A and B are shown apart, each in its own frame.
Chain A
Amino acid sequence: MAEGAFSSFDISASGMSAERLRMNVIAHNIANINTTRSAEGGPYKRRYVVFEEVLAGAQRELSGMIRDVGSGVRVADVGRDTSEGPKRYMPGHPDADADGMVRMPNVNPVMEMLDMMSASRGYEANVMAISAAKQMILKALEI
C-alpha cells in the first residue's frame, strides 16, 4: 500500500476493480437470462455482488494527518438471489413439467440494465478521482 499522496490511487483503483467485477456479474446474469439448466440444478439464479468498506491499512499520522482515512472498497461476497423466476408455457421444451410450464431464471433485464448504469457511473467517478490526483501531484512537482 503506497503512502501519502499516492494512497488515493489505491483507493480509487479498488473502487474501479470492484465496479468492474460487478459489471462482470451483471453481464453473466444477462448472458444467462434464458438458461434453464444450472450446475446446482434448476434454472439459473441471478448473482449479485456485496461491497464492503476497507478500513485497515491506512493507519498513519504524518504532520497532523488523521488516522484511518479508509482505504477503499472490496467485494465481500458474490451472493445468489434465491427467489423463484417466472413460469413460461413451453410444452415442447425438454425442461417443461407435466403442464408444459418451464421455470425461467429470476433475472430481471430492467434491473440488470439499471445496475449496469450504476456500475459504469461508479467506475467513471473513480477514474475522475484518479485524474484529479494526477493533476495534484503534477502541480506539486512544480514547487
Chain B
Amino acid sequence: MKTLLQPEVLELYTKMLDFTAVRHTVIANNIANVNTPGFRRSDVEFADELERVLRDRGLKGVKDIRFRRTKPNETAVRNDGNNVDMDVEMAVLAENALLYQVYAQLLARRFRNLQEILREA
C-alpha cells in the first residue's frame, strides 16, 4: 500500500506548488517595484537545497526544506539604484506560472490514477 500511495511523492509535488506560489509573490513584488529607486530584486532559491536533500535523505527529507529568499547581486543596476530588469521578470513570471500549472497537473493526475486503481480493484 505504501508503494502505491507514496506520500513522499505527494509531499514533493506539494512542495513544488508551494515554491512556485511563493516565487510568484516575490516576482510580483519585483514587478510592482520596477520604478522604486534603490530597490533590489529578490528571488527564491530552492533547486540547490532540493538536490542536497534528495542526495542525503531521499524523498523523506523534502518535507523539511525551507525556501530562501535571495538578493542576487550580479544584475546591472540602473542610475536610480534599482536593478529590476522588466524582461527578466516577465520571463521568470511566465516560466514560474507554467511550472505551477505543471505541478498542479501532476498532482491531479496522481489522484486520478489512484481513483482509477480503486475503481478497478
Contact = CB atoms under 8 A, between A and B. Distances in A.
Contacts of B22: 65-66, 69
B113 interface: no
Given A11-B25, A129-B93, A136-B100, A73 B36 contact: yes
B59 interface: no
Interface string A127-143: 01100110110011011
B74 interface: no
Contacts of B100: 136, 139-140
Interface of B: 14-15, 17-18, 20-22, 24-29, 31-37, 39, 42, 44, 64-69, 86, 89-90, 93-94, 96-97, 100-101, 104-105, 107-108, 111
A85 interface: no
B113 to A, nearest CB: 13
27 contacts: A4-B21, A12-B28, A15-B31, A15-B33, A53-B39, A63-B15, A66-B67, A69-B25, A70-B42, A71-B29, A72-B28, A73-B35, A119-B35, A122-B31, A122-B35, A125-B86, A126-B28, A128-B31, A128-B93, A129-B31, A129-B32, A132-B93, A132-B96, A136-B100, A139-B101, A142-B105, A143-B111
A5 B18 CA distance: 9
Interface centre among B28, B32, B93 (most CB of A within 10 A): B32
Nearest to B39: A53
Given A15-B33, A125-B90, 11 more contacts: A11-B29, A11-B32, A15-B28, A15-B31, A66-B44, A66-B69, A69-B29, A72-B32, A73-B36, A132-B97, A139-B104
B26 A70 contact: yes
Contacts of A143: 104, 107-108, 111
A64 B45 CA distance: 12
Interface of A: 4-5, 7-8, 11-12, 14-15, 18-19, 22, 50-53, 58, 62-66, 68-73, 118-119, 121-122, 125-126, 128-129, 132-133, 135-136, 139-140, 142-143
Contact of B104 (A22, A68, A142): A142
Contacts of B44: 66
A15 to B, nearest CB: 3
B35 A118 contact: yes
Contact of A22 (B24, B26, B35, B39): B35
Nearest to B26: A69
